[in-house]
C-alpha cells in the first residue's frame, strides 16, 4: 500500500472509516498554545517616509488623517499585526505621533515604535545629542506619554544607532561603548515600561554589518536574546545566508527590522513585476528560517523605491506581502492506523523544496500559494501523500494516519 494519496474530502471519509481517536482526545489547549497563528509572530510594514519625513510638513494638516487611515487600512488588509511608525519623539512631533498611533489602534494594529529623537542624527536641523542625553530623553518620553503604548507593541530604543551619536563604531573603534549603550538603553526602557505597566517588546536595531562585525554573543544575549538587523541585499540567496550566519555567530534569534527592494545601488531599477519577483524571493528566504525569525518589518509602505503602494494603488509586491502575511498552515497530530501517537515524522512539499521533522506527535507546516502537494514519511511506515485544493487559504487542522510496513501477527497467521 505504498504511496497513499489523500485529499481534504478523502481525509474526512478515512477518519470516519477508521473510527480513530480525534484531535479533541489530545489536549486541544496544547494545540492552540504551541501552534503559530501566522508565519511570523510579528508582521509589520513600515511607514517611515510618511510618518517621519512628513512629520513637520503635515503636523498642522488635519486632512492628512485621511492619508494615514488609508495606509492603515491597506496595511491591515495585507495581514500585518503591527505598523512601524518613525515619527520623532521630540515634543514638537508628539501630536503628529498620536494621530498615527490612534489610526493604528482604530484599525486593530499594534504599533512598532521605530522613531528617535531628532538630535541623534540631526533630523529637522536639531542639534546633535550625546548618548547620556539620549538615555535621559528616552526615560522622560516613555514616562510622560504612557497613553501612547499598549501591551503587545514593539519598541526599538535607538534604530540603527550607528547612524548618529558618536558614529559608526567600525570607524570610531568604540565597539565596546556602542554595545554598552545599546544594553544600557535596553535596560532603561525595560524598567520604565515596567513602571507604567505596559508589556512592550523591546528589540535593539542595527544594520547587518554591525551585527556581524561589532556585536558579540554576550551583548546579544543581554539585549533580550534577540536583535534586529536592517538588511538590504543584491540577492535573495545572500539574504538568507547572512541571517543564518549572524544567528550562528551570536547564538540568538535574528529579527528583520528593515528589508525590501529595489535599492537602486544594489538592485538597479526594477519594473513592478521584477520588484514583486525579488520581494517574493526575499520572503522565500525568510520562510525557510521562519521558526527562528520572530519578527519582520517590510520597508517601506509608500514613498520610496521599495514602496508597496504608489498613489494609493497597491503594486504587485503588495500581493506578495499579503501571500506571506496571510499564509495558511496545515497542522494536527500524527498517529498510526491503530490510533497510537507517532513522533519523528517528516512532512514536506512533493517537489522537495522544504520539509520539517516533527519533534513531537504534532506537526505544523505553512503552505505557500504554489505548494499544494505534500508527502509525509517515517521509517517503518508507508509514505502518505496529501493534496490540498487550489484555493486552500484557511489554516486547517488535519490528523495524519500512517500505516506500518511491519506485517501484523494476525496477517501472518
Write out pLDDT tens, residues 79-106: 999 999 999 999 999 999 999 999 999 9
Question: In this predicted structure, what is the pLDDT of residue 23?
Answer: 37
Q: What's the half-sphere exposure (Cβ side, CA atoms, 13 Å) at 233?
A: 22
Cis, bond preceding 318 (omega within 30 deg of 0): no
What are the chain's domains? Answer: 4-36+328-412 (2.60.40.1120), 42-325 (3.20.20.80)
DSSP letters for 128-194: P--HHHHHHHHHHHHHH-GGG--TT-EE-SSTTGGGSTT--HHHH--HHHHHHHHHHHHHHHHHHHH
Q: Is pLDDT at 13 greater than 50 in this prediction?
A: no
Q: pLDDT grade, residue 20 (50/70/90)?
A: very low
Over pLDDT 90: what percentage of the chain? 89
Euclidean distance between CA atoms 170 and 219, whole angstroms: 16
pTM: 0.92
User: What are the beta bridge partners of residue 381?
Assistant: 404
Contact (Cβ atoms closer than 8 angstroms) between residue 233 and residue 273: no
Average pLDDT over every residue of 255-274: 98
- Those residues with Cβ within 8 angstroms of residue 171's Cβ, 6 or more apart along the chain or in another chain: none
Amino acid at each position: 500500500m505504498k504511496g497513499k494519496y489523500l485529499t481534504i474530502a478523502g481525509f474526512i471519509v478515512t477518519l470516519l472509516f477508521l473510527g480513530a481517536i480525534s484531535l479533541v482526545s489530545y489536549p486541544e489547549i496544547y494545540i492552540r498554545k504551541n501552534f503559530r497563528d501566522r508565519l511570523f509572530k510579528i508582521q509589520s510594514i513600515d511607514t517611515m517616509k510618511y510618518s517621519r519625513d512628513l512629520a513637520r510638513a503635515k503636523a498642522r494638516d488635519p486632512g492628512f488623517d485621511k492619508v494615514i487611515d488609508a495606509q492603515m487600512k491597506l496595511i491591515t488588509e495585507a495581514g500585518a499585526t503591527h505598523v512601524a511608525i518613525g515619527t520623532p519623539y521630540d515634543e514638537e512631533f508628539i501630536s503628529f505621533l498620536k494621530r498615527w498611533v490612534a489610526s493604528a489602534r482604530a484599525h486593530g494594529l499594534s504599533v512598532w515604535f521605530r522613531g528617535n529623537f531628532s538630535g541623534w542624527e540631526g533630523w529637522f536641523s536639531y542639534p546633535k545629542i550625546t548618548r547620556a542625553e539620549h538615555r535621559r530623553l528616552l526615560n522622560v518620553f516613555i514616562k510622560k506619554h504612557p497613553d501612547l503604548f499598549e501591551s503587545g507593541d514593539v519598541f526599538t530604543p535607538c534604530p540603527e544607532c550607528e547612524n548618529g551619536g558618536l558614529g559608526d563604531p567600525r570607524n570610531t573603534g568604540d565597539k565596546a561603548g556602542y554595545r554598552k549603550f545599546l544594553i544600557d538603553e535596553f535596560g532603561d526602557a525595560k524598567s520604565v515600561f515596567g513602571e507604567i505597566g505596559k508589556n512592550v517588546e523591546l528589540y535593539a536595531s542595527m544594520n547587518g554589518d554591525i551585527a556581524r562585525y561589532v556585536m558579540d554573543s554576550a551583548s546579544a544575549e543581554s539585549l533580550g536574546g534577540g536583535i534586529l538587523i536592517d538588511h538590504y541585499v543584491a540577492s535573495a540567496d545572500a539574504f538568507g545566508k547572512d541571517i543564518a550566519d549572524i544567528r550562528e555567530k551570536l547564538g540568538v534569534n535574528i529579527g528583520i527590522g528593515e528589508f525590501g527592494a529595489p535599492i537602486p545601488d544594489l538592485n538597479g531599477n526594477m519594473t513592478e513585476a521584477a520588484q514583486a519577483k525579488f520581494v517574493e524571493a526575499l520572503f522565500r528566504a525568510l520562510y525557510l528560517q521562519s521558526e527562528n525569525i520572530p519578527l519582520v518589518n517590510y520597508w517601506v509602505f509608500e514613498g520610496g523605491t521599495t514602496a508597496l503602494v504608489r498613489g494609493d494603488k497597491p503594486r504587485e509586491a503588495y500581493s506578495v506581502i499579503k501571500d506571506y502575511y496571510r499564509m495558511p498552515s496545515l497542522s494536527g497530530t500524527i498517529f498510526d492506523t491503530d490510533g497510537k501517537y507517532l513522533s519523528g515524522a517528516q512532512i514536506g512539499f512533493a517537489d522537495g523544496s522544504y520539509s520539517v521533522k516533527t519533534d513531537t506527535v504534532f506537526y505544523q507546516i505553512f503552505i505557500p500559494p504554489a505548494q499544494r502537494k505534500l508527502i509525509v514519511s517515517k521509517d517503518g511506515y508507508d509514505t502518505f501523500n496529501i493534496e490540498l485544493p487550489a484555493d486552500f487559504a484557511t489554516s486547517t487542522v488535519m490528523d495524519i494516519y500512517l500505516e506500518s510496513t511491519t506485517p501484523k501477527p494476525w496477517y501472518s497467521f
